[in-house]
Amino acid sequence: MTSSTTTRDAAPAGDEVRGALPRAARPRVRRTVARAVLVVLLVVAGTFLLDPYRNYLLALVGAYLCATAGLGLLVGRSGQLSLGHAALMAAGGYGYALTAGAAADLPDGLRTVLGLLVAVVVAAVVGLLVGLAGARLHGPYLAGLTLALVMALPAITTTVPGLGGDRGLTVPFQPVPDALDAVIALEQWQAWVVAVVAGVVVTALVLVDAGRTGVRQRAVRDDEVAAALAGVPVGRTKVVAFVLSAAAAGVGGALLCFVTQNVSPGAFTVSLSLLLLVGVVVGGVGRLAGAVVGAVLVVVLPWLVSLLTEALPLGAELARRLDGNLALLLFGVLLVVLTVLAPEGVAGAVSRRRAARRRAARRPGREAP
């Protein structure tokens, strides 16, 4: 799925080299951070318009966004394919649950922050180990390695004591802080926390991508030999990409645990791994907007499908059967349709149309493609 973009990317990357210069970097950092703060504030304000259930869904979207944003960068920028991001989310989730469980005496806020930090570290370490092996592997072999990781997860959680086996670990409720208790619902508070954390994660990814590391990743993706000749440490660049992506996924898993108070192998299956990847591809590989679309799809599509099956005049039995399966089917159909009609995903199609319109406006008389 990266090959189509790879060939097109062989064009000189003038902008990016200029963008990597430290002199130009500082205002860009400031701009990116300011924009992120604005978006997070917008989301926080938006939670007042939503009922608790939709705020809960919003929080889930935020959690999955961390994973899809990291995965989107990994696939789209460094050209490495991971089918194991659910396992990396699980690493973060377990890290969070174990820390929050052990730090039961600490104040609520501190416990959450500590849990998130441990989640990042655990997921990054797992990501480092996989990345080190992965840097020597190409395409399907890395995909196979990461797939094995997610498939081994249930065995790991039953074998390692303290992880709770199939039942997983439960984290106690993190209530709304007293000062806000009368004003907002629990789900709204959760959405706030997730929005802030996801905002930090995504901003960090964006900054890294726009900086020198990003340039190296693209160079490695496009032509490893050329990159090596240009002095880019190929292996290290790939590992760094994997670790970053894993850390982001780990935060996603920790947020999921924060919102649902539970982490268990059942929540991080092979199918979640595939859904994350499909979400990223459907949304648009290597774009933040694509990652957002992907995260929204992962959360909202099954719910929309259950609304649909309820609305349709189906027999009760058929509706029950369709309830879970139709979402997967729709995902598959969406994937096929989009790869045919819009190989760059939803986000790609939107920006392509916009670019075409701009071109058409600049050169009157010429048809947009």
Round to whole Å and give the CA distance between 173 and 57.
17
165 versus 235: smaller Cβ distance to other proteins: 165
* Amino acid residing at 18: R
State which H helix or E strand residue 173 sits in: none
44 versus 125: smaller Cβ distance to other proteins: 44
132 versus 328: smaller Cβ distance to other proteins: 328
Round to whole Å and give the CA distance between 286 and 273.
17
State which H helix or E strand residue 9 sits in: none
* Amino acid residing at 241: A
246 versus 256: smaller Cβ distance to other proteins: 256
Q: How far is the CB of 51 from other proteins (least distance, A)?
A: 4
* Amino acid residing at 172: P
Cα separations in angstroms, 53 against 23, 47, 172, 177: 46, 11, 20, 20
184 versus 227: smaller Cβ distance to other proteins: 184
Q: How far is the CB of 71 from other proteins (least distance, A)?
A: 13
Q: Which of 98, 268, 273 is nearest to 166 (CA)?
A: 268
- Show Cβ contacts of residue 26 under 8 Å, excluding neighbours closer than 6 positions: none
Round to whole Å and give the CA distance between 244 and 260.
25
Q: How far is the CB of 335 from other proteins (least distance, A)?
A: 18
178 versus 317: smaller Cβ distance to other proteins: 317
* Amino acid residing at 208: V
Q: How far is the CB of 260 from other proteins (least distance, A)?
A: 4
227 versus 295: smaller Cβ distance to other proteins: 295
Pair 365, 335: CB distance under 8 Å: no
Read off φ and ψ for residue 263, nearest 5 degrees.
Answer: -135, 130
Q: How far is the CB of 308 from other proteins (least distance, A)?
A: 14
Q: How far is the CB of 115 from other proteins (least distance, A)?
A: 17
Q: Is 262 helix (H, G, I), strand (E, B) or coil?
A: strand
* Amino acid residing at 332: G
Q: How far is the CB of 107 from other proteins (least distance, A)?
A: 19
